[in-house]
Structures are given as C-alpha cells and as structure tokens.
Structure 1
Amino acid sequence: MIELEKKREIFTLWCSNDYSKREISRILKVSRGTVHKIIEECQQMISKLNLSIEEDFLKYIEDIVVESPIQRKRKAYKLNAETISFIKSIVKKNQELIKVGSEKAMNTKELFEYFQRQKKEMPNLTTDFSKDYFYKLVKNIKKDIYTT
C-alpha cells in the first residue's frame, strides 16, 4: 500500500509541475500504473468536491489526496514441507533432463502447470499461490543446486 505522503508527492508533481506519468514514476520510483491510479483517484475527488479548473488544487490537497478506501492485506504463502520437498524434487529432476538435452525437460511455466495438476494425486500440496511466487521459488532452488 502506498503511503499518503507519496500520494501527495505524485499529485503535486502532476498538478503543479506538469510532469507526465512516466516522469513521475521515474522520479519517485513508483510504477506508472500506480501513478495513473492515484491521479485517477485525485481526479475523482476533484470532481466530487465540485472544484473548477481555475482552482488551485494544491490548496485542497488534504481533501483531494486521501487514504484509499480499500485496504488490501495479502496473506503470506505458507507452504508445507511436503509442497517444498515436491517442488525441489521436480526442479532437480528437470535440471537433470536439461543437462542431458532431453525433450522431456520443461520450462518453468510447464513445471508450474505440472505442479498444479498434482493436487489431485497429492491432496496435501499447497497449490494456491501465484506463478510469480513459483518462479521465484524455482529460481532459488536452481541457485541452491548450482552452489552446492
């Protein structure tokens, strides 16, 4: 969740200095999508407050830039030992297949899909996490394989 102060910086740069969304995202090291979303929220508040275009919006910054009404809280992924062990085993087997140039070797996306399908046979596997998380996990497992 982006801090209120950062939101105000985005609004100030956009409103008074006439920076583009790309420039703001680079200056503040925030994604362009986030900058776009915050500017959109501010525009909605300006409309809600019935402020005219001639107004100095910075006078109303406290009213325009407010906390987001939706507070998301992501749950941390808790993988059980069986899940971690299984992922390690399929990554290690796959790395061996890659070494010998086997056609059965899979890319990470295929490994993820294979892993997801194993839920039927192994009901204790935790499979409700993102592909990105799986990719990071595989990357770390591969790093461990090559450093040991």
Structure 2
Amino acid sequence: MAKSTRRQWLKAGLAIGGLAAFGYSYRDVAKRAVDGLMNGTSGKVTLHRINGNSLIPEGNALKGWQAENAQAVSMTQCFGCWTQCGIRARVDRETNQVIRIAGNPYHPLSHDHHIAYNTPLAEALKNMGGESGLEGRSTACARGAT
C-alpha cells in the first residue's frame, strides 16, 4: 500500500468538505425530491379536477388582455449571474410573495425578437399567449426561473 502524503490528505479533506457543503446547500431540494419519489401525488386530492394544482393564469387573452386582479406583474432583472437578463415576476398581492418567474418580453436576452419598449404591457402579454407558440414566448434560464 502506498504511503499517504500530506498533499493526498489535503485533497481528500477538500473533496469531502466540498461535498458536505454542496449536500448541505441542497438539503431542501433533496428532501422534496425524495418525498416526491417515495410518496408521489397518487391518491392525493388536487385543488382542481382538471388543472390539478397549477397556478392561476396571469390573465385572460381571449378579449384583449385582462390581468388577474390578485396578482401583480413586475418587469425586472435577474441577479443570478452577471448577465442580468430581463425577467417577469408574478407577485401575489395578498401575501406579497413571488408566485412565478418567466422571461421579460421587452428584454433582448429573453427572446430572439424582443418587442419595442413603447408597446403597451397588455399587448405584450397578449402576444405571448394563445397560438403564437415558441415564436411569441419569452424565456428565463433555469437559474433565473428559480
């Protein structure tokens, strides 16, 4: 068996410390993942018979754009990295908590063909929905959407 050197002990200690820090930072995510794998949602009653536990939509685009009154839409920037992409945060007015984060249609980094800044918000949000498919969508990266 080879003799252990101080350098090998240091490398092993750093590797174990790094794994411990990583595991500690992801403990909540891992707990939810294991809980979902072990229990699932089978047999649990959902909030809605068809839509399950999905979020309330941002608004209704059938007759022009009609925003959901219980939510506020805030166009802002993501500070998850130094790129600072544009994001659209949906905030519950009652609890003042962010419900969902998506792409900002006005920002050049969230869409190939961002819309003009003078486009009204109702029109911008209406153009992202319906049958426009991926052409009208505005996205955020995985880090920005969490």
Normalised to the residue count of structure 1, the TM-score between the two structures is 0.24
If asked which structure has higher relative contact order (CA below 8 Å, sep 6+), I would say 1
Larger radius of gyration: 1
Normalised to the residue count of structure 2, the TM-score between the two structures is 0.24
